[in-house]
Amino acid sequence: MSKLGNLGARLHRGEVGYDFVGNRKIWYGLSILITITAIVGLAVRGLNMGIEFEGGAVFTTPKNTSVSVSQAETYAEEASGHDAIVQKLGDGSLRIQIAGIDTDKSGQIRRELADDLKVDSEQIAADLVGPSWGDQVANKAWQGLGIFLVLVVIYLAIAFEWRMAVAAFVALIHDITITVGIYALVGFEVTPGTVIGLLTILGYSLYDTVVVFDSLKEQTKDIAKQTRWTYSDIANRSINSTLVRSVNTTVVALLPVAGLLFIGGGVLGAGMLNDISLSLFVGLAAGAYSSIFIATPLVADLKEHEPQMKALKKRVLAKRAQAGSQGEPLDAPATEAYDDEPEDDEATPAVVGPRNQPSSRSRGRGRPSGKRR
């Protein structure tokens, strides 16, 4: 832990750091590769849609049902006249899926099953879904996704700027594509629970991204007034300085989800808990990755195309070249630049915002102790 703490401190001071923005091409490439894989997987394998999307019934027998899986399958097929898939769950109960049956026939099937399995029909849980239900859930989810994206892009464009909104949008699409792709490739079953998880990723992925952007916005506020750093340098520093938080947040978010996944998948075997937590788990990991490796570098890219920032970059490079010719190797990656002796201290406080201005500092200091006792 102390090591982590030290790392935090060093990241904070910029003694260590990774050039996320500088190496963005690698990460873009990686992401494009993953995304293409995901899309190909989706196109080739398709999603394994759960019974909720096809229409049909899922029956869950009580704990410790003594009937074997294959026998239950026979019973279920006899009772319904359709193919049945039977799974044994962690607690010994059986999960019987029958596709393609109507909601009104289910009561009868349930009774027949109960007879065959020698349990009370009241003890068999049933989940019957009409063929359009899953579509409806999915349609509403898409609709929600659309509305949310529009609102959030508007919000980010107002609260930050349109470039950040675009970058966040791309990162979000990226996360969702990856998650869906993993579902296609691994063949996990897609259920309404999965959709819930997927929708939650929306909020969470953006949540992460927004924190980095917030830092970026703050640090670049007075960027035009200095000539030491380009936008990309500062963007990179924002990522590095929020890295500890990002890692902590992701860990703290993943831990409860892991708990859910463990209980949902390991103990209950299947069901809503498992479905939600699985897609959340995948999506959260993708979200943490994208806010660091995709969203912020993308903002930097977009920003560098702005004439103002181009001019700044030119000035910065010229300055570094000048410094370099004076014998100081300044034209180095941003991370190393942090340790350089500031030549233009006048500019520094401007970049930094009010924090280092002595007046505000002493105000902050004097107040809590002075006023309060």
What is the footprint of other proteins within residues 75-114 (CB under 8 A)?
91, 93, 103-104, 106-107, 110
Segment interacting with other proteins (CB under 8 A) among 7-15, 18-26, 29-37, 297-305 = 7-15
Contact between 253 and 283 (Cβ < 8 Å): no
Q: How far is the CB of 41 from other proteins (least distance, A)?
A: 25
Segment interacting with other proteins (CB under 8 A) among 131-139, 298-306, 312-320, 321-329 = 131-139
Q: Under the criterion CB under 8 A, does residue 341 sit at the interface with other proteins? A: yes
Q: Which of 127, 161, 331, 336 is the binder for other proteins (CB under 8 A)? A: 127
**What type of residue is 294?**
I
Q: How many residues bind other proteins (CB under 8 A)?
A: 120
Under 8 Å CB-to-CB from 261, ≥6 apart: which residues?
274, 277, 278, 281
Q: Under the criterion CB under 8 A, does residue 231 sit at the interface with other proteins? A: no
Q: How far is the CB of 214 from other proteins (least distance, A)?
A: 5
**Distance of alpha carbon 77 from alpha carbon 228, whole angstroms:** 74
C-beta of 112 vs 214, nearer to other proteins: 214
C-beta of 28 vs 133, nearer to other proteins: 133
Q: Which of 5, 81, 92, 187 is the binder for other proteins (CB under 8 A)? A: 5
Q: What are the structure tokens assigned to 373, written together?
A: 């006792």
C-beta of 125 vs 321, nearer to other proteins: 125
**Distance of alpha carbon 226 from alpha carbon 228, whole angstroms:** 6
- The H-or-E segment that residue 307 falls in is helix 307-325
Under 8 Å CB-to-CB from 192, ≥6 apart: which residues?
50, 52, 134, 137, 272, 275
Contact set for other proteins, span 13-72 (CB under 8 A): 13-15, 52, 60, 62-63
Q: What are the structure tokens assigned to 28, written together?
A: 């873009």
Gyration radius from the chain CA atoms: 28
Contact set for other proteins, span 252-271 (CB under 8 A): 252-260, 262-264, 267-268, 271
Q: How far is the CB of 369 from other proteins (least distance, A)?
A: 6
Contact set for other proteins, span 342-361 (CB under 8 A): 342, 345, 348-349, 351-356, 358, 361
Q: How far is the CB of 39 from other proteins (least distance, A)?
A: 24
C-beta of 177 vs 194, nearer to other proteins: 194
Q: What are the structure tokens assigned to 218, written together?
A: 């703050």
Contact set for other proteins, span 162-201 (CB under 8 A): 192-193, 195-196, 199-200
> Roughly how many angstroms between the first and final C-alpha of the chain, as a whole number?
35
Under 8 Å CB-to-CB from 315, ≥6 apart: which residues?
227
Q: Hey, which residues does 190 pair with through a beta bridge? A: 49
Give the C-alpha distances (Å, rounded to integers) separating 343 from 204, 215, 339: 41, 24, 12
C-beta of 305 vs 372, nearer to other proteins: 372
Exposure of 333 in the CB half-sphere (CA atoms within 13 A): 13
Burial class for 47, CB neighbours closer than 10 Å (0-12, 13-18, 19+): middle
Q: Which of 65, 242, 279, 296 is the binder for other proteins (CB under 8 A)? A: 242
Q: Where are the alpha helices (DSSP H) in 22-161?
A: 24-45, 51-54, 69-80, 106-117, 133-159
Q: Under the criterion CB under 8 A, does residue 286 sit at the interface with other proteins? A: no
Q: Under the criterion CB under 8 A, does residue 115 sit at the interface with other proteins? A: no
Q: Under the criterion CB under 8 A, does residue 6 sit at the interface with other proteins? A: yes
C-beta of 228 vs 313, nearer to other proteins: 228
Segment interacting with other proteins (CB under 8 A) among 28-36, 177-185, 295-303, 335-343 = 335-343
| Phi, psi of 161, deg, nearest 5 | -160, 170
Q: How far is the CB of 61 from other proteins (least distance, A)?
A: 9
